[in-house]
Amino acid sequence: MLRFFIIFSVLLVGLFTLEILQPAEKYVIMPFTSMVADVSVWIVKAFDENVIANGNVIRDKVSGFGVRIERGCNGLEAVIILFSAIFAFPAPLRSKFIGFVIGFFAIQLLNLVRIISLYYLGQWNYTAFEWFHLYLWQALIILDALVVWLIWLRTLPRVQPPDDPQPQPA
C-alpha cells in the first residue's frame, strides 16, 4: 500500500507539473481542448444547427451565448488522476494500457456530456449553469476517474498465493 501511495503521488505531481508547463500548454493542452470543442459541436449539430466552435469556445449563433472550455474543463485532470492510479498499481502492463485507454475514453465521453449540458444549461439559466459547473460536474468527473479505476481493479486477474509445499515423509 505504501508503494502504491508513493508511486501514485510521484506520478500525480510529475504529470500535473508537466501539464502546467508552457510547451505542454501550447502543443498538447490547447490543441486537445480545441478538439474537445469541435467534437462537442459535431455532436450538438446533430440536433441544433445554431452552434459553432472557435478554438476552445462553443457559441450559439442566435443568442451569442458561449462556453469556453478552459484548463480543468477538458477532462485531462481526471485522466491524469486515473493514469497515476492505474500505473501505480501492481498489475500486468497490458492490463494497465487497456484500462487506461478505456478509462480515457470513458472520462472524455462523460466530459462531452458535461460540456454539452453546460452549454444548454447556460442558455436556460446562468445561475444554474454556475452551480452545476463549479460544484456538481467538477465532482462527477473526478468521481468518474475513481469509478473507472475501481472497475479496472475488478477486471485484474486474481493472483493465487503459492501452495505450501507438503512435507515429505522421512
Give mean pLDDT, residues 21-49: 93
Of 7 and 161, the one with more pLDDT: 7
C-alpha torsion sign, points 111, 86, 159, 164:
negative
| Residues 52/57/60/66 CA torsion (nearest 10 deg) | 180
Average per-residue pLDDT for the chain: 91
Share of the chain above pLDDT 90, in %: 71
Q: Are 37 and 56 in contact (CB under 8 A)?
A: yes
Q: Is the pLDDT of residue 164 over 70?
A: no
Q: Is the pLDDT of residue 166 over 90?
A: no
Q: Which pLDDT tens digit goes with each residue over 40-64?
A: 999 999 998 999 998 889 999 988 8
Write down the pLDDT at residue 76. Answer: 93
The model's confidence at residue 165, banded by pLDDT at 50, 70 and 90, is low
Residues 6+ apart with CB under 8 A from 68: 56, 57
> And the C-alpha cell for 3?
508503494
Give mean pLDDT, residues 78-83: 96
